[in-house]
Chains A and B, each alone.
Chain A
Amino acid sequence: MDYKSLAGQLVQTCLKKGADSAEIFIQTGRQLRIEVRNGDIETVQEAASQGIGFRIFAGGRMAFASCNDFSDAATASAIDSAVRFAQQTTADPNNVLPDDKGNTPVADLYDEGIGRVVMERKIELAQTVERLALKDSRITKSAGSRYAEGEAEIFLANSHGLSKGYKSSSCSLGVSVVAEKGAQKSSGNDSCSRRFFADLKKPDEIAAKAARKAYEMIDPRMVKTQRAAVIFDTDVAGALLGGILAAVNGERVLQGASFLGTRLNQKIASPLLTIVDDGTRVKGPASRPFDGEGVPTQKRLIVDQGVLKGFMYNTIIARRAGVKTTGNASRGGFTDVPGIGPHNFYIAAGANSREDIIAATQKGLLLTEVTGYGINPVNGDFSGGASGFWIEGGKIAFPVKGLTIAGRADEILNALDMMGNDLDLNRATAAPTFRIPEMQIGGE
């Protein structure tokens, strides 16, 4: 289907039906998911899906409608409902659409070859990764392996003349296994997600890590409630970054609901901490040529050596704040109104190896799993469930489970004293291993 002309026509229909400006977001895609358990297929799910989101503006009022039927009658009805629904909303002079017709070229977001790889090969990949993970005698059960892929095409047009689109793809392979000893159960999983099929990690690497994560945690011990160092593994990057991400959301800042709201250009963290938002990285899992409302993406410093450098905005919130959009309009899908969100969001790599960081720690927790909400973006409080390994005398001593960790964001961020060099940018939210020299740990 020619989405460019469809989108253009629909913009015109919106204007005819009473909108004074309008935006059309078309999303089409295809997904495949294969789950294997004990060597055999458990489920195969496959589908193509499509939808259109209509954002219309009339006299400063804004409303949104979506439908997944592309017929003229269905799209006309959706537009009518959006125009009518707009009468219920509050007029705001900041309710405007972007007019930047540019695109940030981002290479290699789409692998057209994924769909040509035969189904049998994909099933075999999932079977192989499971078989390899079960090879270790300490692994007693499979909790299933998975191969998944998706392709999506996005086309966006608005009444300021924007008309742009792109295709993207992703595929992933993962496995979960269980290690048992007596009544103890420990689960481990690992997965790899890439834009290109050929870039997927080899099954043996994924299998080995999943198995290791399961058996390493057998025979955990409890430690006393105490203050000690906490080393954040690369797997728990989100525990720290999630709350910071929410706290640099420009709308939250305007509402006074961010613990970082009044700290722009101030020191908020150790000079070892640099945080980047990058929509432009080649093959990046969250890279895109333009954001959820068509604004070209960029690479930005959010925190530069401990100093807070910027918040994230979409067009409307930027206008309210009196600044320029940062190209951070996010859109979960065609049913969603654009919000504010990151692209590839990460802590820049530092100088230390992971081994150095462990060796430099006399006593503390190597944190490999955190549960809970992470940093509360409103007040900066942090509390979570924790498991990982106890470190004594610079060495891993034994696994620990069922601990808690807690602190306040300003203390944690300023205290950070070692930053690792093991950043993996194949994840959309990523951090190297880093150390906080002292946090409250809850145990027995």
Chain B
Amino acid sequence: MKPANHFIADMPRRDFLQASLKGGVALAASPSLMASLLSAMEGGAAAAKLDPDPQMLNRIIRAALQKGGDFAEVYVENRIARDILLEESKVKQAVFGISRGAGVRVIAGDKTGYAYTDEISEDKLKRAAEVASYVARGSKPSAPVALQKASRPSFVSVTVPLQDVADARRVEIMQRADQAALSHDPRIRMASISYYDEIRGRTIANSEGLLLNDELPLLFFIVQTLGVGANTRHMGRERLSMHAGFEMFDRVKPEEVARACARESIAMLAAEDCPAGKMDIVMQNGWGGVLVHEAVGHPLEADNIARQIGVFTGKMGQKVASDIFTMVDDGSIPNARGTTDFDDEGTPMRRNVLIEKGVLKLFMTDFLSARQLKMARTGNGRRESFRNMPIPRMTNTFIDNGRDKPEDILASTPKGIYVQSLSGGSVNPTTGMFNFTCREAYLIENGKKTRPVKGATLIGSCLDIISNIDAVGNDLDFGPGICGKGQNAEVNAGQPTVRIRGINVGGTRA
């Protein structure tokens, strides 16, 4: 149980998920089934409805603060998910899951107690409240404010609700992607199409009197294709994810996702050995933003600042990066993968400028770290499910647009590596050392992108990276991913095309 480095991946890391006994559940149903399912469950367990009785929640919050403590919260969650896998042109897996439960959190000073239950009954919640209040023994008791139903603006619009989509339509989308991938090139020997959707209902109630609930859809569509060449193979990958209804596939066609993936699989069959050592990097716009997500984003999460161990501790207001570097976390971008209406503590989402023209402006906080640092809550208190307590997490995190034209950035780089896409990476939040694996990369020779090179590792330290970014393009774009920090969160990472001077590249030749 080594505290894992923070990692980010562009698709689910099953191994990581399997490391703990947990049940974020995949669940799916055709519309009529969904209705009968929910009504059946509610008939069977009356206490498990999506809109828990506020009076009951009031009683739980009071119970949680009985031994002392200055903050208590009840979080109730209901998640219905479908997970379908089409591989080797066969629908191999169809997984449907229902997960519901509730967590109770008690904070006393800097101490947090957390307990959860799979069964949403008053008895079980009282028991969770008692367990969670263990940390508050002997502290000064406080009286909770009576719950008052609140509302928040929504940043997630839905045209075709997932509830109204027949399973056969989901499979049809996957088959279209499979066909498009396989017909792209005879060297594409296999496609693996993974479809996931969920509807997550949340109720948040706390001792400040806040009572909120909502329901958010999420779609995650991943295409992988295996390209086979004379003596090599390459597995390409392309993803699409939004908090949206099924209309996502009208905006971006499954065939486009599949062809983009197949293109990568074929292009990389010609990859040569990558040189090793310090080199200049031009990183294409989009998912490359994971590099700053890891290298700069995690160190700007306020929990490690409050613990005074983060690399940015004590640097607020100081110049930490070059003038052209502005970094933003914005959980209010309409329908984006990292967007919600409010975070899992009920704080509204907003645009947070973290570093502005090189100057450190803001840390990303949750309730506890905001209080410890006497800072505002920024809407970054997120949790994977009711089995986890909220901690500071990123949402949609990106380097903001600069003024350079992407083609000029490349043309003015005589020699280096053009990184078209990354798989993922990790950072040690204390030391700021990060690493990334390239999925598609090319040599830059005389200002031109030339031959493809094999998946190399990029490493460095976060403070070096942000001072070595010397060109920022005007073509901001995003890519979807999964961020791990003891628990998973769905995020977007983004950037315009950027150039970073002198990154260490792990190639196989000198």
Q: Could you list which residues of chain A lie within 8 angstroms of chain B, going by C-beta atoms? A: 27, 29, 31, 37, 40-51, 62-69, 71-74, 76-78, 80-82, 84-90, 92, 119, 141, 143-144, 146, 148, 150, 152, 172, 174, 176, 178, 185-187, 189-191, 193, 225-227, 255-257, 259, 330, 332-337, 339, 341, 371-373, 376, 378-379, 381, 383-387, 401-408, 440-444
Contacts and interface: CB of A to CB of B under 8 A. Distances in A.
Contacts of B128: 47
B454 interface: yes
B23 A193 contact: no
Interface in B5-39: 5, 14, 17-18, 21-30, 33, 36-37
B21 A69 contact: no
B99 interface: yes
B47 to A, nearest CB: 11
B118 interface: yes
A404 B94 contact: no
Interface stretch (B153-161, B344-352, B354-362, B429-437): B429-437
A406 B29 contact: no
Interface stretch (B144-152, B245-253, B467-475, B499-507): B499-507
13 contacts: A31-B21, A47-B117, A66-B96, A74-B98, A152-B21, A186-B431, A255-B226, A332-B17, A333-B22, A335-B97, A379-B233, A383-B456, A402-B460
A119 B457 CA distance: 44
Interface string B377-418: 000000000010100000000000000000000000000000
B504 A403 contact: yes
B14 A65 contact: no
Contacts of B460: 402
A66 B112 contact: no
B100 interface: yes
B489 interface: no
A66 B28 CA distance: 10
Contact of B389 (A45, A69, A90, A191): A45
Nearest to A441: B276
B33 A84 contact: yes
A265 B91 CA distance: 32
Contacts of A186: 431
B457 A372 contact: yes
A283 to B, nearest CB: 17
A193 B278 CA distance: 39
A404 B506 contact: yes
A379 B97 contact: no
B376 interface: no
Contacts of B5: 371
Given A42-B110, A51-B23, A332-B18, A68 B101 contact: yes
B305 to A, nearest CB: 13
Given A88-B91, A371-B459, A66 B506 contact: no
Given A69-B98, A383-B507, A384-B435, 15 more contacts: A46-B131, A49-B21, A51-B118, A65-B98, A68-B118, A69-B100, A74-B44, A77-B37, A257-B233, A372-B435, A379-B233, A384-B457, A402-B460, A441-B276, A442-B507
Contacts of B112: 42-44
Interface stretch (B50-58, B214-222, B280-288, B306-314): B306-314
A72 B45 CA distance: 10
A46 B131 CA distance: 7
Contact of B96 (A64, A68, A87): A64
A224 to B, nearest CB: 9
A441 to B, nearest CB: 7
Contacts of B454: 379, 381, 383
B230 interface: no
A37 B109 CA distance: 13
Contacts of A333: 18, 21-23
A90 B193 CA distance: 14
Interface stretch (B256-264, B326-334, B335-343, B420-428): B420-428
A86 B387 CA distance: 29
Contacts of B18: 330, 332-333, 336, 341
Given A64-B93, A372-B425, A383 B455 contact: yes
Given A88-B171, A372-B457, A402-B459, A378 B226 contact: yes
Contact of A40 (B111, B276, B309): B111
A384 to B, nearest CB: 5
B311 A378 contact: no
Contact of B387 (A47, A178, A386): A47
Contacts of A376: 455
Contacts of B45: 69, 71, 73-74
Given A44-B135, A45-B114, A255 B190 contact: yes
A29 B168 CA distance: 36
B40 A76 contact: yes
A419 B40 CA distance: 60
B118 A383 contact: no
B33 A80 contact: yes
The 6 A-B pairs of least Cβ separation, nearest first, read A73-B44, A404-B506, A332-B18, A442-B276, A385-B435, A371-B435
Contact of B506 (A27, A80, A88, A383): A383
A119 B96 contact: no
